[in-house]
Structure 1
Amino acid sequence: MMFLLLSTYHASLDTMDALLPEHRAYLDRYRDDGVFVLWGRRVPRTGGLIVAHGVDRARIDAVVADDPFVRANAATYEVIAIQPTGGLTELTAVLTGAS
């Protein structure tokens, strides 16, 4: 399963910046675990997005709850399950595990 995780900030940017080192470590940890494949900020900076794959809904809910932004009540996520059906061959192969 693949998910698009859309975060929305509910705290000041100063608060978000203070939490950023821990949040970046969280992103790196789940990238290293093979769950996160892409992330970035919204423009303007009101939240962010993460593309996640290879886990089920229960696991992604646990991963989202582990985010330091969420634990600090500074952000919430909308979790959207997606099934890629097209795009750049190289990208869809990576995201879907196809060879």
Structure 2
Amino acid sequence: MFIINLTYKTELKNVDKFLNAHIDFLNEQYELGHFLASGRKIPRTGGIILSNVESQSELEKIIGKDPFKKNDLADYNLTEFVPSKTCEELKFLMK
């Protein structure tokens, strides 16, 4: 499992030009079962995605399809982790 930490490296007006395409990308990844949660940071300096993709190399290929990545709008920091405790609603994350 990975936490994907996106940090914008351009003005929000540039990010907003590709926001709908980014949302389409997210929707596709949810449909494929690759993403579990996502959202904006507060303040709006980027976003966070929780992914259940098992390998970093596979996740990097997926991220390469994101319009924010393709257009060099954000940096991506990947943190791999293994959940060891969750609330009842998230028990499915435990392996």
Instruction: State the superposition RMSD in angstroms.
Output: 1.1
Q: Deviations over 1:27-51 (max 9, x none)?
A: 0000000000100000000000000
- Tell me the equivalent position of 2:30: 31
Q: Number of residue pairs matched?
A: 95
For the residues of structure 1 that align with 2:51 and 2:27, how far apart are their CA atoms? 12
Unaligned segments of structure 2, at least 5 residues:
none
Q: Which moved more, 1:55-64 or 1:25-34?
A: 55-64
Q: 1:60-79 counterparts in 2 under 5 A?
A: 60-79=59-78
- Tell me the equivalent position of 1:15: 14
Aligned partner of 1:83: which letter?
A: V
- Tell me the equivalent position of 2:39: 40
Unaligned segments of structure 1, at least 5 residues:
none
Q: CA deviation at 1:11?
A: 1.0
Q: Deviations over 1:31-72 (max 9, x none)?
A: 000000100000000000000004311100111111100110
- TM-score scaled to structure 1, two decimals? 0.90
- Tell me the equivalent position of 1:50: 49
| Runs of 4+ in structure 1 over 6 Å off | none
For the residues of structure 1 that align with 2:41 and 2:67, how far apart are their CA atoms? 18
Identity over aligned residues, as a percent?
29
- TM-score scaled to structure 2, two decimals? 0.94
